[in-house]
């Protein structure tokens, strides 16, 4: 069996990570996996997310078991794309990332926060996952790997991303059918309503947003980590 290329997307919330997962799902050579460490994260933190009981019931709760028996398992296709949220790496040894390619998906903090507070009205820095993204990027650099970070501009960026990952660009990655997809996690009804309406990457339009005064300290922290990660941008 040919060696498997494991691509690990380390994202934060509201960063169109699900759309990027759908994009890779269009490739005939790729299997995609939606947040394999989500149940582990819910169990360790005790957080009461929408659909918590369902997630814990259907997904392996032990993060190390997920890594050993799922992430590092054999896969039927030559490429496997794991969508991770970086804050889910609690009590997880990230050494397995060195076996694959790691990609950080980031979004301008004011745009991210304005969307995130619709579901989480009082977010913390930990919930944005930016600090965790940077800590993992620092760790990768210490291991001799240069991280990749992505600010999505569909075709041009996807072409360069595929080249950086050592795979060919497939135009099918720019489009998909609307609606739920078989690779969705069981939490999709609570979080993916917007992406289920999409059929591909639209033209990016920066929204004019105002972040409340109470969230300005958090926004400043997010901007700091965002700028650090942006230095690795494709």
Q: What is the pLDDT of residues 156-212, one digit of tens each?
A: 889 999 999 999 999 999 999 999 999 999 999 988 998 999 999 876 677 889 999
Alpha helices, H only, 74-147: 109-116, 125-128, 130-142
Q: What DSSP character marks residue 3? A: P
Question: Which H or E run contains 38?
Answer: helix 38-45
Can you list the pairs that 198-201 forms with residues at least 24 positions away whose Cβ atoms lie under 8 Å? Answer: 198/19, 198/22, 199/175, 200/154, 200/174, 200/175, 200/176, 201/19, 201/23, 201/152, 201/154, 201/174
CB 102 within 8 A of CB 81: no
Q: Residue with structure tokens 């300005």?
A: 216
> What is the pTM (predicted TM-score) of this model?
0.91
Integer Cα distance of 132 and 219 in angstroms: 16
Spans of the chain, pLDDT less than 70? 1-2, 152-153, 203-204
Instruction: Please give the pLDDT value at position 1.
Output: 40
Question: Can you give the pLDDT at residue 217?
Answer: 97
Domains plus CATH for the chain? Answer: 5-230 (3.40.50.300)
Per-residue confidence (pLDDT) for residue 152, from 0 to 100: 61
State the pLDDT at residue 153: 66
Report the DSSP beta bridge partners of residue 150. 105
CB atoms within 10 A of CB 119: 13
Instruction: Report the pLDDT value the prediction gives residue 2, as an integer from 0 to 100.
Output: 57
| Spatial separation of the C-alpha atoms in residues 111 and 15, rounded to whole Å | 9
């Amino acid at each position: 069996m040919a060696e498997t290329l494991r691509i690990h997307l380390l994202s934060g919330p509201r960063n169109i990570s699900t759309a990027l997962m759908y994009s890779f799902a269009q490739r005939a050579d790729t299997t995609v996996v939606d947040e394999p460490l989500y149940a582990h994260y819910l169990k360790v933190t005790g957080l009461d997310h929408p659909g918590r009981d369902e997630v814990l019931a259907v997904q392996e709760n032990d993060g190390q078991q997920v890594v050993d028996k799922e992430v590092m398992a054999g896969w039927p296709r030559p490429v496997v794309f794991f969508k991770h949220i970086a804050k889910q790496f609690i009590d997880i040894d990230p050494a397995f990332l060195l076996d694959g390619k790691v990609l950080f998906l980031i979004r301008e903090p004011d745009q991210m926060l304005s969307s995130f507070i619709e579901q989480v009205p009082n977010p913390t820095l930990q919930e944005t996952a930016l600090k965790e993204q940077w800590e993992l990027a620092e760790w990768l650099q210490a291991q001799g790997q240069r991280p990749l970070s992505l600010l999505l501009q569909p075709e041009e960026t996807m072409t360069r991303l595929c080249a950086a990952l050592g795979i060919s660009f497939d135009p099918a990655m720019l489009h998909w059918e609307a609606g739920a997809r078989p690779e969705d996690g069981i939490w999709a009804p609570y979080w993916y309503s917007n992406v289920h309406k999409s059929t591909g990457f639209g033209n990016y339009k920066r929204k004019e947003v105002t972040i409340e005064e109470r969230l300005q300290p958090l926004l400043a922290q997010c901007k700091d980590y965002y700028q650090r990660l942006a230095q690795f941008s494709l």
